[in-house]
Amino acid sequence: MESTSTPLDLQQLDQSHYLPVFKRVPLTLVKGEGCYVWDDKGNQYLDALAGIAVNSLGHCHPKVVQAIREQAGRLIHISNFYVSPPQAILSRRLTELSGLDRVFMTNSGGESVEAAIKLARKFAHQHGRGGEIISFEGCFHGRTMATIAAGDEKYQRGFGPMPAGFKQIAFNDPDLLAQAITEDTAAVLIEPIQGEGGIRPASAELLSAARELCDRHKLALVLDEVQCGIARTGQWFAFQQTGIKPDIMALAKGLGSGFPVGAALCSEQIAEAIDFGDHGTTFGGNPLACAAALAVLEAIERDQLVAYAAEQGERLLTRLRREAESNEWITEVRGQGLMLGVELAFPGKAVVEEMLKQGVLANCARERVMRLVPPLITPAGELDHIVDVLLAAIQEVANRE
């Protein structure tokens, strides 16, 4: 242990040693409880970012802490050569909730999308099709090579050559999608609500056209619910309010409420294309991760957080949209449940800084979109406070400019 007599300059340590890929907020966080976190100086912050839509149950939820503690004392890791109770029970629960048939557990969103792409390609090859994946401008699917190849061009710069077999088209244009499909196409990959792309929902027309085209051409419809899944939009999964069902779905983020765990789910038809040894993972779905995820799903259900996210989201959306009618600085309000985006007439960076000064953690996607993805357990009063602080910060920054 370091001596306690000379306090460590942690910001300095970070700057000296950590790979500089994250533009850090100069804040060192040391503790969290519910919808609040504290920095090393004892300042308290209301968390409207939730680890980027991860802490679905807020910080250190007692049921998740208890499940992790108990499982850590019993069995942390085995290989996927063996079955563990948490993984088997979690797989059953995820299939029950989603209506899909098979589960593959991962450690992150990027890995879940990678698994989804492999499933889609194996299925396509079995049916004599090429392996091309069609995705949409503004999308984000992770930082691995295949997921940046599927993702927006800005994530690819400097990392070429890109893996082959990815095509990107404009978002929310069903006609373009119909034209883009060829004999080479394996799958259509869609975020039901683009998160990093600025909380932009896929239109009902795009989703139903994608389902219909995938059925007609025997393609896999892959939904990336890494950010919008697990109760965030007021349904267990965002697709459940669209009338369509995917063949493959990627999950992560909210599933572990902070514990790194993800999943790729698929229909039996897709699973039939897979053979032993086709895919694998050392850590994915280990007993500790699955125990954490099970505790998260149980708490969401017991505390009726799916309905709560829907009801509170509707309330905030109505308030923000009403505000936008008379607020010249807000150009649009989008989203569903507790996944909301407030698009500004100017860059949101200064608004994020102003909110931080007022004790609220938030962030900005796509430069101008204030993203609100608070924990699903945030009380109504705190949710209102987040909106109060956001509106005051917008006004403060607008007055300054």
Contact positions vs ligand PLP (CB under 6 A): 52, 108-110, 113, 140-142, 191, 195-196, 224, 226-227, 252
**Shortest distance in whole angstroms from residue 372 CB to ligand PLP:** 15
Q: Considering beta carbons, is residue 252 or 361 the nearer one to ligand PLP?
A: 252
**Residues whose CB is less than 8 angstroms from the CB of residue 276 and which lie 6 or more positions away in sequence, other chains included:** none
Q: Considering beta carbons, is residue 138 or 195 the nearer one to ligand PLP?
A: 195
How many angstroms separate the CA atoms of 377 and 383, rounded?
Answer: 10
Q: Considering beta carbons, is residue 117 or 390 the nearer one to ligand PLP?
A: 117
Place of tokens 């299925």: 123
**Shortest distance in whole angstroms from residue 333 CB to ligand PLP:** 20
CB atoms within 10 A of CB 325: 7
Q: Considering beta carbons, is residue 56 or 327 the nearer one to ligand PLP?
A: 56
Q: Considering beta carbons, is residue 133 or 397 the nearer one to ligand PLP?
A: 133
Beta strand 360-361 with 44-47 is parallel
CB atoms within 10 A of CB 26: 9
User: What are the structure tokens assigned to 23, written together?
Assistant: 């533009």
**Shortest distance in whole angstroms from residue 241 CB to ligand PLP:** 17
Burial 147-182 (b: 16+ CB within 10 A, else e): bbbbbbeebbeeeeeeeebbebeebbbbeebeebbe
CB atoms within 10 A of CB 380: 12
**Shortest distance in whole angstroms from residue 53 CB to ligand PLP:** 7
**Shortest distance in whole angstroms from residue 91 CB to ligand PLP:** 20
Beta strand 248-251 with 363-365 is unpaired
**Shortest distance in whole angstroms from residue 311 CB to ligand PLP:** 24
Q: Considering beta carbons, is residue 52 or 60 the nearer one to ligand PLP?
A: 52
Angle at alpha carbon of residue 51, lines to 382 and 354, rounded to 5°: 60
* Alpha helix ranges (H) inside 54-108: 62-74, 85-98
**Shortest distance in whole angstroms from residue 380 CB to ligand PLP:** 26
CB contact at 8 A, 48 and 374: yes
How many angstroms separate the CA atoms of 168 and 189, rounded?
Answer: 10
Q: DSSP for 351-381, please give it.
A: HHHHHHHTTEE-EEETTTEEEE---TT--HH
Q: Considering beta carbons, is residue 52 or 75 the nearer one to ligand PLP?
A: 52
**Which residue's Cβ has the minimum distance to ligand PLP?**
109
**Shortest distance in whole angstroms from residue 21 CB to ligand PLP:** 12
Q: Considering beta carbons, is residue 152 or 196 the nearer one to ligand PLP?
A: 196
